[in-house]
Amino acid sequence: MEKRMGEIEILGKVYPLNFSLRIAQRYNELAKENRPGEFGVDHRTLELLHLLMEDAAAYNRVVLGKESETLSLEALELVFTPADTPKVAEAIRKALELGGMRMVTAKSSKKNEGKG
């Protein structure tokens, strides 16, 4: 099976992260919202992390038939500090990268070999 999920370690436990079309659409909505009084990038980063965790749990349940734990957005807000933003951003970047890559192999038919 191809590796398509990222991960992040939080308080000694590793959580999977999954990037899908559903997450891309939701994050575009979050980026457009004007939310006075929030930390901006740091808060949106945690919201995206939460979405990736939820999507990984859904992917595991639907595709792999196994349950995986997630943390609530509130828990993430309590655990992480602004100093953790680079760590969180790197985990998100890796999940987005893995979710966007596909390992595709194609075999040509005998009829098409040698044509080019």
Q: 37 pLDDT exceeds 60?
A: no
Distance separating the N- and C-terminal Cα atoms of the chain: 31
Q: 17 pLDDT exceeds 80?
A: yes
Length of the chain counted residue by residue: 116
Most confidently modeled range among 33-42, 53-62, 103-112 = 53-62
- pLDDT higher at 99 or 8: 8
**Across 107-114, average pLDDT:** 56
Quick one: 94 exposed, middle or buried, by C-beta within 10 A (0-12, 13-18, 19+)?
middle
- pLDDT higher at 85 or 12: 12
Residue 10's SS3 state is strand
For the chain, the C-alpha Rg in angstroms (whole number) is 18
Averaged confidence pLDDT in the chain: 80
Q: 106 pLDDT exceeds 80?
A: no
pLDDT in tens, 45-98: 888 999 999 999 999 999 999 999 999 999 999 998 878 888 998 999 899 888
Distance CA 101, CA 70 (A): 24
